[in-house]
Structure 1
């Protein structure tokens, strides 16, 4: 039984999973168009409005509507609505679309700490600088509650990993000593909302970050597939604590076509792995075995240990070749 036949919907991350820097990742569009499952795109990136994300998805050839996009900006506004009265003053540090979401939710959006906002709501904006961060810090010192869309430290781009929203929020925390309440992944709410929108009972969460996508899916008690096209690589998987471990591991979205046994950590490709002292030994390997099969083989052993192995030691030519492709 394949991953696709086991599940009734896909809850998909965007950056590092569907695209890198706006360019689609190899195989992503064709796989999703052919898979036959409904999808909701669940993104921690709060810099674009849902309709803009849907437009961009359609631009690369995927079917998407505003209703099929859930952003951390939306989640942040819902969270603040649970804690503040309607028409409360809020200082929104982020894009114009983020401010529009706050206005549409019934809040009074202000521009200055001098307006005594009840809350600061911070999300990613490429135009954010010292002035905006300082205004947020001043408001928080004045008693405003501190909310942010997500705590991602890095943002995957076509040039590599740029500064993420969590790093910007950390600057405010460093100045004020106040930790934000984060609305996005790895909290479960975005995934629960997405599954509810589809009426799905067996969704599969797919993402590239262990500490947001996978942990968030695990927190929502959903199956998770980690794809190796973004932030978290093989070595991070090997060292991952239990709360960050996915059910399945794939190279990219094309691996949605694998059977559950093929995608799940376990011995495959003729590789074997065993524990020796503080190390995991990777041995054997068929001629046509791949580096991801070697990784899944090692993961089964590494995750059975009380702590992460000191080293993974390749003990065959094929194992040496496979581990040489890890990062």
Structure 2
């Protein structure tokens, strides 16, 4: 039975998983449209309204409705409801679409600490500046509850990793000594909300970042599938602590048509791996074996070790040829 057949919904990350800089990752659109499972697009990006995210996904060819999108801004508004009463005053640091979500939820949006807000909600937007951060800091010092959409320190762009919401949150933390509660990945609540949207009982969390997508899915007690199309690559997987380790690993989304046994860490492709002191030696390998098969073989061994190995040492010519490209 394939991995996809063992689950009833996909909870999909966007950047590095479905698209990169707005461009569809090769094969992603065809796979998602034809996989036969409902998909929820779970994104830590709080700068776009759900409607805008859905429209952009349709623009690359995906069959998506607005209800299929869950942003960290939406999750933050839901989380705020656990800390402040209906109709409370909320100062929003972030995009206008974030303010619209807060208003639609029945809260009063304010722009100044002088308005004595009950909470400060912070999400990423390129327009966030010193003045907004200062109003937030002043309000928090006055006792406002502090909620962040997410704590990603960086944001993938076509030019590389840019400053993310977590880095902007750090400025307020430094000024106030107060850390926010966070709604987005890797917190488990966001994945629970996503599963409820489609009534999923056996969802599969799919992403490219170990410290957000995979950690969050694991924390939510859901199966996790890691794709090597984005941020976290082979060496990060090898060095990953337990909470960041996915159940399954693939080159791309289409690998989910393979069996769960093949996608889980374990010896395959004719490769062998063994511990030698502080190193792991990788030997053999069939002529048609792939890099990801070598990786799964190695992961079974290194994840059973007390700590990450010093080096991954290829022994055979085939092992050398595939490990050479690991990063």
TM class by shorter chain equals over 0.9
Counterpart for residue 2 of structure 1: 2
- Give the secondary-structure state (helix, strand or coil) at the position aligned to 2:226: strand
Partner deviation per Cα, 1:203-248 (whole Å, 9 max, x = no partner): 1110011111111111111111001111111111111111111000
Partner Cα separation in structure 2 for residue 146 and residue 82 of structure 1: 12
- Give the secondary-structure state (helix, strand or coil) at the position aligned to 1:255: helix
Task: Choose 38-47 or 308-317, whichever is displaced more.
Answer: 308-317
Q: Indicate whether 1:167 and 2:174 are aligned.
A: no
- Give the secondary-structure state (helix, strand or coil) at the position aligned to 1:265: coil
Counterpart for residue 301 of structure 2: 301
Partner Cα separation in structure 1 for residue 172 and residue 115 of structure 2: 19
The CA deviation at 1:57 is 0.8
- Give the secondary-structure state (helix, strand or coil) at the position aligned to 2:192: helix
8 Å contact from structure 2 (residues 272, 285) kept in 1? yes
Counterpart for residue 250 of structure 2: 250
Counterpart for residue 144 of structure 2: 144
- Give the secondary-structure state (helix, strand or coil) at the position aligned to 1:178: coil
The CA deviation at 1:142 is 2.0
Task: Choose 92-101 or 210-219, whichever is displaced more.
Answer: 210-219
Partner Cα separation in structure 1 for residue 126 and residue 15 of structure 2: 15
Partner deviation per Cα, 1:260-315 (whole Å, 9 max, x = no partner): 12211111111110011111111111122111111111100000111111211111
- Give the secondary-structure state (helix, strand or coil) at the position aligned to 1:288: coil
Partner Cα separation in structure 2 for residue 180 and residue 63 of structure 1: 35
Aligned residues: 327
Q: Indicate whether 1:156 and 2:156 are aligned.
A: yes
8 Å contact from structure 1 (residues 268, 294) kept in 2? yes
Counterpart for residue 282 of structure 1: 282
**Structure 2 residue runs without a partner (length 5+):** none
Map of 1:201-240 to 2, 5 A cutoff?
201-240=201-240
Partner deviation per Cα, 1:40-70 (whole Å, 9 max, x = no partner): 1111111111111111111111111111111
- Give the secondary-structure state (helix, strand or coil) at the position aligned to 1:120: strand
8 Å contact from structure 1 (residues 38, 198) kept in 2? yes
8 Å contact from structure 1 (residues 119, 146) kept in 2? yes
- Give the secondary-structure state (helix, strand or coil) at the position aligned to 2:42: strand
Partner deviation per Cα, 1:172-220 (whole Å, 9 max, x = no partner): 1122111111011111112112212212111111001111111111111
Partner Cα separation in structure 2 for residue 121 and residue 203 of structure 1: 29
Partner Cα separation in structure 2 for residue 262 and residue 206 of structure 1: 17
Counterpart for residue 34 of structure 1: 34
Partner Cα separation in structure 2 for residue 83 and residue 69 of structure 1: 24
Partner deviation per Cα, 1:55-94 (whole Å, 9 max, x = no partner): 1111111111111111110110011111101221111000
Partner Cα separation in structure 1 for residue 266 and residue 128 of structure 2: 45
Counterpart for residue 179 of structure 2: 179
**Structure 1 residue runs without a partner (length 5+):** none
The CA deviation at 1:36 is 1.0
8 Å contact from structure 1 (residues 156, 230) kept in 2? no
Counterpart for residue 20 of structure 1: 20
Partner Cα separation in structure 2 for residue 23 and residue 233 of structure 1: 20
Partner Cα separation in structure 1 for residue 6 and residue 144 of structure 2: 46
Partner Cα separation in structure 2 for residue 120 and residue 223 of structure 1: 33
Partner Cα separation in structure 2 for residue 267 and residue 174 of structure 1: 47
Q: Indicate whether 1:312 and 2:312 are aligned.
A: yes
Give runs of ≥4 in structure 1 deviating > 2 Å: none
Q: Indicate whether 1:272 and 2:276 are aligned.
A: no
Partner Cα separation in structure 1 for residue 231 and residue 155 of structure 2: 9
Task: Choose 103-112 or 132-141, whichever is displaced more.
Answer: 132-141
TM-score w.r.t. the length of structure 1 is: 0.97
- Give the secondary-structure state (helix, strand or coil) at the position aligned to 1:42: strand
8 Å contact from structure 1 (residues 20, 158) kept in 2? yes
8 Å contact from structure 2 (residues 83, 145) kept in 1? no
